[in-house]
Protein backbone atom coordinates (compact mmCIF):
# COMPACT_ATOMS: atom_id res chain seq x y z
CA UNK A 1 0.00 0.00 0.00
CA UNK A 2 1.43 3.36 -1.08
CA UNK A 3 -0.74 5.60 1.07
CA UNK A 4 -4.12 6.00 2.73
CA UNK A 5 -5.96 8.82 4.46
CA UNK A 6 -9.32 9.88 5.82
CA UNK A 7 -10.45 13.35 4.79
CA UNK A 8 -13.15 16.01 4.95
CA UNK A 9 -13.81 18.04 1.81
CA UNK A 10 -16.09 20.17 -0.30
CA UNK A 11 -18.28 19.23 -3.24
CA UNK A 12 -20.19 21.46 -5.63
CA UNK A 13 -23.89 21.12 -6.41
CA UNK A 14 -23.06 18.41 -8.96
CA UNK A 15 -21.37 16.37 -6.21
CA UNK A 16 -17.95 16.92 -7.78
CA UNK A 17 -15.03 17.28 -5.38
CA UNK A 18 -13.52 20.74 -5.10
CA UNK A 19 -10.96 20.03 -2.37
CA UNK A 20 -10.15 17.58 0.44
CA UNK A 21 -8.40 18.10 3.79
CA UNK A 22 -6.42 15.06 5.00
CA UNK A 23 -5.23 15.87 8.55
CA UNK A 24 -3.26 12.65 9.22
CA UNK A 25 -2.28 10.85 6.02
CA UNK A 26 -0.31 7.62 6.21
CA UNK A 27 2.56 6.81 3.85
CA UNK A 28 3.12 3.07 3.40
CA UNK A 29 0.70 2.18 6.23
CA UNK A 30 1.05 -1.01 8.20
CA UNK A 31 -0.75 -3.89 6.52
CA UNK A 32 -2.81 -4.44 9.67
CA UNK A 33 -4.68 -1.14 9.27
CA UNK A 34 -5.21 -1.85 5.57
CA UNK A 35 -6.82 -5.19 6.49
CA UNK A 36 -8.91 -3.57 9.22
CA UNK A 37 -10.48 -0.97 6.97
CA UNK A 38 -10.69 -3.13 3.82
CA UNK A 39 -13.26 -5.43 5.41
CA UNK A 40 -15.54 -2.55 6.35
CA UNK A 41 -15.15 -0.58 3.12
CA UNK A 42 -15.13 -3.56 0.77
CA UNK A 43 -11.79 -2.42 -0.59
CA UNK A 44 -10.17 -5.00 -2.88
CA UNK A 45 -7.15 -3.13 -4.13
CA UNK A 46 -6.19 -0.39 -6.54
CA UNK A 47 -6.39 3.37 -6.14
CA UNK A 48 -9.83 4.24 -4.85
CA UNK A 49 -11.92 6.94 -3.13
CA UNK A 50 -14.71 5.71 -0.88
CA UNK A 51 -17.41 8.01 0.53
CA UNK A 52 -17.89 7.78 4.28
CA UNK A 53 -21.08 8.37 6.27
CA UNK A 54 -21.39 8.41 10.06
CA UNK A 55 -22.17 4.68 10.21
CA UNK A 56 -19.00 3.78 8.30
CA UNK A 57 -16.94 6.25 10.33
CA UNK A 58 -18.16 4.62 13.56
CA UNK A 59 -17.35 1.14 12.26
CA UNK A 60 -13.88 2.25 11.21
CA UNK A 61 -13.29 3.96 14.55
CA UNK A 62 -14.13 0.77 16.40
CA UNK A 63 -12.09 -1.45 14.09
CA UNK A 64 -8.75 0.33 13.67
CA UNK A 65 -6.02 -0.18 16.25
CA UNK A 66 -3.93 2.87 15.28
CA UNK A 67 -4.61 5.41 18.07
CA UNK A 68 -4.18 8.55 15.95
CA UNK A 69 -6.44 7.25 13.18
CA UNK A 70 -9.03 6.08 15.71
CA UNK A 71 -9.12 9.55 17.25
CA UNK A 72 -9.41 11.21 13.85
CA UNK A 73 -12.29 8.98 12.80
CA UNK A 74 -14.10 9.75 16.05
CA UNK A 75 -13.67 13.49 15.43
CA UNK A 76 -15.04 13.16 11.88
CA UNK A 77 -18.36 11.67 13.01
CA UNK A 78 -21.08 14.29 12.70
CA UNK A 79 -19.25 16.31 10.04
CA UNK A 80 -21.49 18.63 8.04
CA UNK A 81 -19.08 18.28 5.11
CA UNK A 82 -18.59 15.14 3.01
CA UNK A 83 -15.99 12.63 4.21
CA UNK A 84 -13.86 10.27 2.15
CA UNK A 85 -11.30 7.50 2.49
CA UNK A 86 -8.62 7.57 -0.19
CA UNK A 87 -6.50 4.46 -0.64
CA UNK A 88 -3.57 4.37 -3.04
CA UNK A 89 -2.15 0.95 -3.71
CA UNK A 90 0.41 2.35 -6.16
CA UNK A 91 2.00 5.62 -7.22
CA UNK A 92 0.23 5.68 -10.58
CA UNK A 93 -0.89 8.72 -12.56
CA UNK A 94 -3.60 10.75 -10.83
CA UNK A 95 -7.23 9.95 -11.62
CA UNK A 96 -9.33 11.84 -9.02
CA UNK A 97 -9.32 15.07 -7.03
CA UNK A 98 -9.02 13.32 -3.62
CA UNK A 99 -6.01 11.33 -4.88
CA UNK A 100 -4.40 14.56 -6.00
CA UNK A 101 -4.99 16.31 -2.68
CA UNK A 102 -3.57 13.33 -0.81
CA UNK A 103 -0.31 13.45 -2.78
CA UNK A 104 -0.05 17.20 -2.23
CA UNK A 105 -0.53 16.63 1.51
CA UNK A 106 2.25 14.01 1.50
CA UNK A 107 4.63 16.65 0.15
CA UNK A 108 3.69 19.35 2.65
CA UNK A 109 3.77 16.85 5.53
CA UNK A 110 7.38 16.04 4.48
CA UNK A 111 6.53 12.42 3.72
CA UNK A 112 7.74 12.81 0.13
CA UNK A 113 10.35 15.07 -1.48
CA UNK A 114 9.62 17.02 -4.67
CA UNK A 115 9.86 14.87 -7.83
CA UNK A 116 9.44 11.62 -5.85
CA UNK A 117 5.77 11.14 -6.77
CA UNK A 118 3.90 10.59 -10.00
CA UNK A 119 1.87 13.78 -10.51
CA UNK A 120 0.89 13.13 -14.11
CA UNK A 121 -2.36 14.90 -15.09
CA UNK A 122 -2.38 17.00 -11.91
CA UNK A 123 -3.94 20.04 -13.63
CA UNK A 124 -6.71 17.94 -15.12
CA UNK A 125 -7.56 16.50 -11.69
CA UNK A 126 -7.75 19.83 -9.85
CA UNK A 127 -10.83 21.97 -10.50
CA UNK A 128 -10.63 25.73 -10.53
CA UNK A 129 -11.87 26.92 -7.14
CA UNK A 130 -12.89 30.25 -5.65
CA UNK A 131 -11.04 30.37 -2.32
CA UNK A 132 -13.22 32.46 -0.02
CA UNK A 133 -13.71 33.23 3.65
CA UNK A 134 -16.62 30.76 3.66
CA UNK A 135 -14.48 28.01 2.14
CA UNK A 136 -13.99 26.52 -1.31
CA UNK A 137 -16.68 27.49 -3.83
CA UNK A 138 -17.30 26.44 -7.41
CA UNK A 139 -16.74 29.64 -9.46
CA UNK A 140 -19.98 28.93 -11.36
CA UNK A 141 -21.89 28.93 -8.07
CA UNK A 142 -20.17 31.99 -6.58
CA UNK A 143 -22.43 34.75 -7.99
CA UNK A 144 -25.55 33.29 -6.34
CA UNK A 145 -23.76 33.04 -3.00
CA UNK A 146 -22.45 36.58 -3.32
CA UNK A 147 -25.93 37.92 -4.00
CA UNK A 148 -27.37 36.02 -1.04
CA UNK A 149 -24.62 37.35 1.21
CA UNK A 150 -25.23 40.95 0.07
CA UNK A 151 -28.93 40.60 0.85
CA UNK A 152 -27.90 39.68 4.39
CA UNK A 153 -25.53 42.62 4.64
CA UNK A 154 -22.39 40.57 4.23
CA UNK A 155 -19.57 40.44 1.68
CA UNK A 156 -17.90 37.19 0.66
CA UNK A 157 -14.15 37.77 0.53
CA UNK A 158 -12.61 36.02 -2.48
CA UNK A 159 -8.88 35.57 -1.90
CA UNK A 160 -8.23 33.96 -5.26
CA UNK A 161 -9.42 31.77 -8.14
CA UNK A 162 -6.96 28.94 -8.59
CA UNK A 163 -6.51 25.18 -8.68
CA UNK A 164 -4.16 25.17 -5.70
CA UNK A 165 -4.96 26.46 -2.20
CA UNK A 166 -2.42 27.95 0.15
CA UNK A 167 -0.55 25.33 2.12
CA UNK A 168 -1.17 26.73 5.60
CA UNK A 169 -4.95 26.11 5.33
CA UNK A 170 -4.11 22.41 5.19
CA UNK A 171 -0.62 21.82 6.60
CA UNK A 172 1.58 23.92 8.90
CA UNK A 173 5.02 22.23 9.04
CA UNK A 174 7.01 22.53 12.25
CA UNK A 175 9.93 24.91 12.53
CA UNK A 176 9.21 27.25 9.62
CA UNK A 177 8.47 30.96 9.18
CA UNK A 178 6.15 32.09 6.39
CA UNK A 179 5.64 35.84 6.18
CA UNK A 180 2.90 35.73 3.51
CA UNK A 181 1.05 32.42 3.54
CA UNK A 182 -0.76 32.99 0.22
CA UNK A 183 2.60 32.66 -1.56
CA UNK A 184 3.16 29.04 -0.52
CA UNK A 185 0.95 26.51 -2.30
CA UNK A 186 -0.28 23.19 -0.94
CA UNK A 187 2.25 20.63 -2.12
CA UNK A 188 5.25 22.77 -1.16
CA UNK A 189 7.93 20.99 0.88
CA UNK A 190 9.44 23.21 3.57
CA UNK A 191 12.23 21.72 5.66
CA UNK A 192 12.90 22.54 9.30
CA UNK A 193 14.38 26.00 9.75
CA UNK A 194 13.15 27.45 6.46
CA UNK A 195 12.20 31.13 6.34
CA UNK A 196 9.93 32.39 3.55
CA UNK A 197 9.99 36.19 3.44
CA UNK A 198 7.08 38.36 2.25
CA UNK A 199 7.99 38.16 -1.44
CA UNK A 200 9.15 34.56 -1.33
CA UNK A 201 7.08 32.06 -3.32
CA UNK A 202 7.16 28.27 -3.22
CA UNK A 203 5.13 26.31 -5.77
CA UNK A 204 3.73 22.79 -5.39
CA UNK A 205 6.22 19.92 -5.82
CA UNK A 206 9.06 22.28 -4.92
CA UNK A 207 10.76 23.43 -1.76
CA UNK A 208 13.64 23.45 0.66
CA UNK A 209 15.56 20.92 2.72
CA UNK A 210 16.05 23.56 5.44
CA UNK A 211 17.36 25.69 6.86
CA UNK A 212 16.99 28.09 3.94
CA UNK A 213 16.24 31.74 3.29
CA UNK A 214 13.73 32.30 0.47
CA UNK A 215 13.06 35.84 -0.72
CA UNK A 216 12.53 34.85 -4.35
CA UNK A 217 10.60 32.23 -6.34
CA UNK A 218 11.06 28.48 -6.03
CA UNK A 219 9.40 27.05 -9.13
CA UNK A 220 7.67 23.70 -9.55
CA UNK A 221 10.13 20.81 -9.38
CA UNK A 222 12.99 22.82 -7.84
CA UNK A 223 14.55 21.78 -4.51
CA UNK A 224 17.00 23.93 -2.53
CA UNK A 225 19.43 22.05 -0.31
CA UNK A 226 20.28 23.26 3.19
CA UNK A 227 22.01 26.56 3.85
CA UNK A 228 21.05 28.11 0.53
CA UNK A 229 19.77 31.69 0.14
CA UNK A 230 17.47 32.73 -2.72
CA UNK A 231 17.70 36.53 -2.75
CA UNK A 232 14.94 39.10 -3.18
CA UNK A 233 13.11 38.65 -6.52
CA UNK A 234 15.55 35.90 -7.45
CA UNK A 235 14.07 32.96 -9.34
CA UNK A 236 14.64 29.35 -10.26
CA UNK A 237 13.49 27.96 -13.59
CA UNK A 238 10.80 25.27 -13.41
CA UNK A 239 9.26 22.98 -16.01
CA UNK A 240 5.63 24.14 -16.12
CA UNK A 241 5.89 26.44 -19.14
CA UNK A 242 8.09 27.03 -22.13
CA UNK A 243 8.58 23.34 -22.85
CA UNK A 244 11.33 22.94 -20.26
CA UNK A 245 12.04 19.39 -19.12
CA UNK A 246 15.30 19.76 -17.16
CA UNK A 247 14.72 19.64 -13.41
CA UNK A 248 16.78 22.24 -11.59
CA UNK A 249 18.24 21.53 -8.16
CA UNK A 250 20.32 23.84 -6.01
CA UNK A 251 22.98 22.45 -3.67
CA UNK A 252 24.11 23.36 -0.16
CA UNK A 253 25.32 26.82 0.89
CA UNK A 254 24.53 28.53 -2.41
CA UNK A 255 23.54 32.15 -3.00
CA UNK A 256 21.34 33.33 -5.85
CA UNK A 257 21.54 37.10 -5.50
CA UNK A 258 18.73 39.64 -5.60
CA UNK A 259 17.03 39.79 -9.03
CA UNK A 260 19.22 36.91 -10.23
CA UNK A 261 18.01 33.64 -11.67
CA UNK A 262 19.09 30.09 -12.32
CA UNK A 263 18.12 27.74 -15.13
CA UNK A 264 20.75 25.06 -14.48
CA UNK A 265 21.44 22.85 -11.49
CA UNK A 266 24.06 24.02 -9.03
CA UNK A 267 26.24 21.86 -6.82
CA UNK A 268 27.35 23.07 -3.40
CA UNK A 269 28.82 26.49 -2.50
CA UNK A 270 27.86 28.27 -5.72
CA UNK A 271 27.03 31.95 -6.12
CA UNK A 272 25.22 33.88 -8.86
CA UNK A 273 25.70 37.61 -8.49
CA UNK A 274 22.75 39.97 -8.12
CA UNK A 275 20.91 40.74 -11.36
CA UNK A 276 22.46 37.91 -13.39
CA UNK A 277 20.19 35.25 -14.88
CA UNK A 278 21.97 32.05 -15.90
CA UNK A 279 20.06 29.97 -18.45
CA UNK A 280 21.21 26.69 -19.99
CA UNK A 281 22.27 28.50 -23.18
CA UNK A 282 24.14 31.37 -21.53
CA UNK A 283 27.68 31.66 -22.95
CA UNK A 284 30.11 31.66 -20.05
CA UNK A 285 33.82 32.44 -20.03
CA UNK A 286 35.60 29.96 -17.78
CA UNK A 287 38.50 31.41 -15.77
CA UNK A 288 41.10 29.52 -13.78
CA UNK A 289 42.14 30.34 -10.21
CA UNK A 290 44.41 33.08 -11.54
CA UNK A 291 41.46 34.53 -13.45
CA UNK A 292 43.08 33.56 -16.74
CA UNK A 293 40.77 32.68 -19.63
CA UNK A 294 40.40 28.93 -20.21
CA UNK A 295 37.55 28.54 -22.70
CA UNK A 296 33.99 29.47 -23.52
CA UNK A 297 31.12 27.10 -22.75
CA UNK A 298 27.36 27.04 -22.49
CA UNK A 299 26.13 27.07 -18.92
CA UNK A 300 24.44 23.68 -19.35
CA UNK A 301 27.92 22.12 -19.55
CA UNK A 302 28.54 23.34 -15.98
CA UNK A 303 25.25 22.10 -14.55
CA UNK A 304 25.57 20.38 -11.19
CA UNK A 305 29.16 21.41 -10.48
CA UNK A 306 30.21 22.88 -7.13
CA UNK A 307 32.26 25.93 -6.07
CA UNK A 308 31.25 28.17 -8.98
CA UNK A 309 30.97 31.95 -8.91
CA UNK A 310 28.97 33.48 -11.77
CA UNK A 311 29.44 37.20 -12.38
CA UNK A 312 29.08 39.63 -15.27
CA UNK A 313 32.29 41.49 -16.05
CA UNK A 314 31.39 45.15 -15.61
CA UNK A 315 33.86 46.22 -18.33
CA UNK A 316 33.25 43.65 -21.05
CA UNK A 317 29.69 42.55 -20.23
CA UNK A 318 30.78 38.91 -20.54
CA UNK A 319 29.41 36.33 -18.10
CA UNK A 320 32.29 34.72 -16.25
CA UNK A 321 32.57 31.64 -14.08
CA UNK A 322 35.29 31.70 -11.46
CA UNK A 323 36.17 29.46 -8.55
CA UNK A 324 34.01 30.37 -5.56
CA UNK A 325 36.53 30.70 -2.74
CA UNK A 326 34.07 31.61 0.01
CA UNK A 327 30.76 29.88 0.63
CA UNK A 328 27.90 31.80 2.18
CA UNK A 329 26.64 31.22 5.70
CA UNK A 330 23.06 31.82 6.77
CA UNK A 331 22.34 33.91 9.85
CA UNK A 332 21.63 31.20 12.44
CA UNK A 333 19.47 33.50 14.55
CA UNK A 334 16.97 33.76 11.70
CA UNK A 335 16.42 30.03 11.45
CA UNK A 336 17.10 28.18 14.70
CA UNK A 337 14.16 29.66 16.59
CA UNK A 338 11.42 29.00 14.02
Q: Is 215 a catalytic residue?
A: yes
3-state secondary structure of 143: helix
The whole-angstrom separation of Cα 73 and Cα 320 is 59
Helices (H), strands (E): how many in the chain? 6, 27
Question: Which pLDDT does position 70 carry in this prediction?
Answer: 98
The whole-angstrom separation of Cα 34 and Cα 12 is 30
Catalytic one among 141, 215, 273, 292?
A: 215
The whole-angstrom separation of Cα 293 and Cα 192 is 41
Strand partners of residue 262 = 236, 278
The whole-angstrom separation of Cα 41 and Cα 51 is 9
Q: What letter would DSSP give residue 265?
A: -
The whole-angstrom separation of Cα 144 and Cα 174 is 39
The average pLDDT across 296-301 equals 96
The pLDDT tens digits for 39-59 are 999 999 999 999 999 999 999
The average pLDDT across 126-150 equals 98
End-to-end CA distance of the chain: 34
Tell me what the pLDDT averaged over the chain comes to. Answer: 95
3-state secondary structure of 8: strand
The average pLDDT across 277-306 equals 94
Of the two residues 164 and 241, the one the predictor is more confident about is: 164
Band of pLDDT at residue 290, cut at 50, 70 and 90? confident
Q: Which domains does the chain have, with CATH numbers?
A: 3-125 (3.30.70.2010), 130-162 (3.30.60.70), 167-334 (2.160.10.10)
The pLDDT tens digits for 208-226 are 999 999 999 999 999 999 9
> Among 57-61, 178-182, 196-200, 321-325, which stretch is predicted with the lowest mean pLDDT?
321-325
The whole-angstrom separation of Cα 94 and Cα 308 is 39
Question: Which pLDDT does position 329 carry in this prediction?
Answer: 73
Question: Which pLDDT does position 289 carry in this prediction?
Answer: 85
Assess whether pLDDT exceeds 60 at residue 61: yes
State pTM to two decimals.
0.94
Amino acid sequence: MYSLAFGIGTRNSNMEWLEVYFPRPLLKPDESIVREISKILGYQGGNQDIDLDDALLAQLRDAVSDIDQKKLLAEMIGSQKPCVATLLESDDALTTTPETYLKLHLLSHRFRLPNEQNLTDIYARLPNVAWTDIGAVDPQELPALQLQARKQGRVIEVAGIDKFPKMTNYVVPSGVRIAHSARVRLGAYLGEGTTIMHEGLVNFNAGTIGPNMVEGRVSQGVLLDSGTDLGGSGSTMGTLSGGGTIIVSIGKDCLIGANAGCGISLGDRCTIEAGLYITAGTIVQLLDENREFVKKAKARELSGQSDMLFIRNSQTGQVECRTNKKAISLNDSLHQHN
